[in-house]
Amino acid sequence: MHRPRTRMSPGHEGVAWADHGEARWSHTHTWDHPEWNVDDLVAAKNGRTVSVVLPALDEEATVAGVIATIAPLLGTLVDELIVLDSGSTDRTADRARAAGARVITREEAIPDLPPAPGKGEALWRSIAATTGDVIAFVDSDLIDPDPMFVPKMVGPLLADPDIHLVKGYYRRPLRTGDTQEPGGGGRVTELLARPLLTALKPELGEVCQPLGGEYAGTRELLASVRFAPGYGVEIGLLIDTYDRYGLAGIGQVNLGVRSHRNRPLHELSVMSRQIVATLLDRCGIEDSGAGLIQFVPEPDGGFTPHTTELLRGERPPINSLP
Ligand SMILES: O=c1ccn([C@@H]2O[C@H](COP(=O)(O)OP(=O)(O)O[C@H]3O[C@H](CO)[C@@H](O)[C@H](O)[C@H]3O)[C@@H](O)[C@H]2O)c(=O)[nH]1
Ligand SMILES: O=C(O)[C@H](O)COP(=O)(O)O
């Protein structure tokens, strides 16, 4: 496969863009109009294998729909498709199996170690449970994802040996009740992650969706980095990849539109607290470690404080396990 074309247009005046040699990273490592097809990618695999991992916690409503968009690639581009069940108590596992995925629990992935809660733990264990040279992650709460999500994400990894992490980016609608706001989604991304990243790691300000759950990486990278707990996992992986390989090791690909189950604001606050903890840690800034206090409105007009503690317990690189 030829190196895919880059199409991110410039014109962001006033932004201190990172120079990547002669060309800016946003030109050389951003695929705004990816044009490769599955046959191109199969030819580019060259003996390498691709695993797709769907982390899932109680996603019975959507998991089968996500699998249905990826299962047709099994045996060609995709060599294995697993759902890493993060402790679901609903019918996620049954539905995932019926749709054509292999379901692996956290305990099965690494039997000798009791599982911790959170998404980071599920992804970390999935590295041990899969064998692909390239691993693509797709959230299992997506609604009508495009079947080209995985082919688009793995393209740069198969084409360029210097790239180790490819983040998807997209338009993000926000659904509230019966209404849908086309560009209203990605609230934590836009209000917290991108501003804070720009302040502390300005070169990563060019990454459109630092938090998005659709990304792919080489096993070389993913087995050799630590995994942050909970929802800190994406920001941790992004910064750790940057610190190891620089921007040259990262790519991003336009996946079109991504809809998912939009969480209520109070759940996103807890997610944000976890992300802040990992971001500060990766930037060498001390965090108080305090849990987030939220004020729950009561029927009588008052509020009750409720604290959510931070998830702790960074996981070491999988390839450092005995
Ligand atoms: O303990 C958990 C929590 C979540 N999930 C799964 O992880 C995926 C994403 O979780 P979700 O709660 O839907 O996250 P979002 O609200 O969509 O948050 C965004 O931002 C997070 C922080 O970067 C990322 O982890 C998400 O992938 C990204 O979509 C879903 O398939 C979940 O079922 C688990 O497997 N275990
Ligand atoms: O990635 C994010 O910013 C959070 O998952 C919130 O996304 P949403 O605003 O689209 O629900």
Confidence of residue 1 (pLDDT cuts 50, 70, 90): low
Measured from the Cα of 139, ligand 1's closest atom is 31
What is the spatial distance between Cα 161 and Cα 293, in angstroms, rounded to a whole number? 45
Structure ipTM over 0.90, yes or no = yes
Q: Greatest CA separation found in the chain?
A: 65
Residue 19 lies in a domain: no
* pLDDT > 70: percent of the chain: 93
Question: 151 to each of 7, 50, 263, how far by Cα in Å?
Answer: 18, 10, 27
Cβ of 48 closer than 6 Å to ligand 1, yes or no, is no
Mean pLDDT, residues 270-291: 98
pLDDT at residue 241 in the model: 98
211 ligand 1 Cβ < 6 A: yes
In a domain, 12, yes or no: no
In a domain, 222, yes or no: yes
Cβ–ligand 1 contact at 104 (below 6 Å): no
Q: Encode pLDDT of 120-160 as tens digits.
A: 999 999 999 999 999 999 999 999 999 999 999 999 999 99
Residues in the chain: 322
CATH of the domain at 219: 3.90.550.10
pLDDT at 176: 83
**Closest to 249 (Cα-Cα) out of 239, 236, 234, 257:** 239
Mutation probe of ligand 1 site: the residue of 58, 121, 141, 278 with most atoms within 8 A of C-beta: 141
Long-range contacts of 276-280 (CB under 8 A, 24+ apart): 276/192, 276/196, 277/232, 277/310, 278/228, 278/229, 278/232, 278/233, 278/235, 278/236, 279/193, 279/196, 279/197, 279/200, 279/232, 279/235, 279/239
Please indicate whether residue 59, judged by its CB atom, sits closer than 6 Å to ligand 1. yes
Q: How far is the CA of 188 from the centre of ligand 2 (A)?
A: 5
Q: Which ligand is nearest to the CA of 141?
A: 1
* pLDDT score at 103: 98
Q: Which atom of ligand 1 is nearest to the CA of 141?
A: 31
**Is 171's C-beta closer than 6 angstroms to any atom of ligand 2?**
no
Is 152 domain-assigned?
A: yes
**Atom 13 of ligand 1 has which residue's CA nearest to it?**
141
Q: Is a pLDDT exceeding 50 seen at residue 13?
A: no
Q: Is 17 exposed, middle or buried (0-12, 13-18, 19+ CB in 10 A)?
A: middle
- Note whether residue 11 is domain-resident: no
Domain count, the chain: 1
210 in a domain, yes or no? Answer: yes
pLDDT at 10: 40
Ligand 1 contact, 260 CB (< 6 A): yes
Residue 5 confidence (pLDDT) above 70: no
* Residue of higher predicted confidence among 10 and 53: 53
CA of 133 to the centre of ligand 2 (A): 29
The whole-angstrom separation of Cα 235 and Cα 266 is: 20
The two tokens of residue 51 are 């695993």
Residue nearest to atom 7 of ligand 2 (CA): 186
Task: Inform me whether the pLDDT recorded for 7 exceeds 80.
Answer: no
Closest ligand 1 atom number to CA of residue 55: 35
Write the residue with the smallest CA distance to atom 6 of ligand 2. 186
pLDDT at 219 over 80: yes
Question: 22 versus 162: which is more confidently predicted?
Answer: 162
> Residue 9: pLDDT above 50?
no
Q: Residue 298 carries which side chain, given as an amino acid letter? A: E
The number of the ligand nearest the C-alpha atom of 54 reads 1
The residue with greater pLDDT, 258 or 176, is 258
Domain that holds residue 222: 25-320
Distance 186 CA to ligand 2 centre (A): 4
* For residue 205, pLDDT beyond 80: yes
How remote is the C-alpha of 179 from its chain's centroid?
A: 26
Q: Residue 85: inside a domain, yes or no? A: yes
| Distance (Å, whole) CA 232 – CA 271 | 8
Least distant ligand from the CA of 140 = 1
Residue 18 lies in a domain: no
Residue 189, ligand 2, Cβ within 6 A: yes
Q: At residue 108, does pLDDT exceed 80? A: yes
Separation of CA 267 and ligand 1 centre (Å): 11
